[in-house]
Amino acid sequence: MRQIFLDTETTGLEPSEGHRIIEIGCVEVIDSVITESHFQSYFNPQRRVDVGARQVHGLDDAFLSDKPVFADVAPDWLGWMSGADEVVMHNAEFDRGFVEAELQRLQGVDVSPWRSCTCIDALSQARMQLPGLHSYSLDNLCRTLGIDLEDRRDVHGALIDATLLAHAYLRMMGQQCEMTMTISDYAAVVVGDGDGDADGPALIVQRASPDELALHEAFLRRMQPRSGDG
């Protein structure tokens, strides 16, 4: 079973109002094990980021101005998605709506790797598995499930949220997961040498800064299973 845990950051709340995806982060899980294969990219939305959205993710117009547009990255992302059985999202209606809106703008691109997946709403699953919580936000689910959020304040974004979601979902569903990567491994392995291989095309992603790499690496170390966690 190949699952993709996906999160997006956006310019606003409603794709019907022309809001766009500005970051996508995906984490691969195979047979309940988090692998080294990830996908992350920022996008130039060709519109301004709403103030409220910017306060959530910290991505502003200046930062996004030199990033690729979604259409330029979509073929690589869809190629990486190929063969996935499920896509898991927290509040899937939101993320799925934005992804669908972006895909509808594409021309001549095979979107079947996305459309052939079963979409799983982790929010709905959480309400069934953990009834009675005062909040079903990703942060509160992580706290409830004993997943450390200390470094999240410093490095907030789609890749970290997708990673948190994978850990929370697997723990919530009573499965064992293993984090085998560091963020430095991610930068080296996922980007590749540009030649591609039998497993899929080489990916072009936005590399994090050295400070971001160090912070994310610290975050991932905190995510390692601790003795006594079961």
Residue 229 lies in a domain: no
**Which residue type sits at 212?**
E
Q: Which two tokens stand for residue 107?
A: 């021309």
| pLDDT (0 to 100) of residue 41 | 97
Residue 58 lies in a domain: yes
Counting every residue, how long is the chain?
230
Report how many domains make up the chain. 1
Rg (CA), the chain: 17
Residue 228 lies in a domain: no
Range of the domain at 25: 2-223
Q: What predicted TM-score, i.e. pTM, was given to this entire model?
A: 0.76
Nearest Cα to Cα of residue 20 among 49, 54, 41, 62: 49
C-beta separation of 166 from 177 below 8 A: yes
Residue 230 lies in a domain: no
Residue 79 lies in a domain: yes
Q: Which two tokens stand for residue 34?
A: 């988090």
Residue 159: CATH number of its domain? 3.30.420.10
Residue 26 lies in a domain: yes
Q: Strands 21-30 and 33-42, how do they pair?
A: antiparallel
| pLDDT (0 to 100) of residue 55 | 87
C-beta separation of 163 from 6 below 8 A: no
Give the span between the Cα atoms of 12 and 5, in whole angstroms.
21
Q: What is the DSSP string of the chain?
A: -EEEEEEEEESSS-GGGT--EEEEEEEEEETTEEEEEEEEEE---SSPPPHHHHHHH---HHHHTTSPPHHHHHHHHHHHHTT-SEEEETTHHHHHHHHHHHHHT-SS---HHHHTSEEEEHHHHHHHHSTT-S--SHHHHHHHTT---GGGGTS-SHHHHHHHHHHHHHHHTT--------HHHHHHHHH--SS-BTTB-----PPPPHHHHHHHHHHHHHHSPPTT--
| pLDDT (0 to 100) of residue 76 | 97
Give the span between the Cα atoms of 15 and 17, in whole angstroms.
5
Supply the residues annotated as catalytic. 156
Q: What are the 10-residue block averages of pLDDT along the chain, 230 residues in total?
A: 97 96 97 95 96 90 97 97 97 96 94 95 94 94 88 72 95 63 39 37 41 51 45
Residue 127 lies in a domain: yes
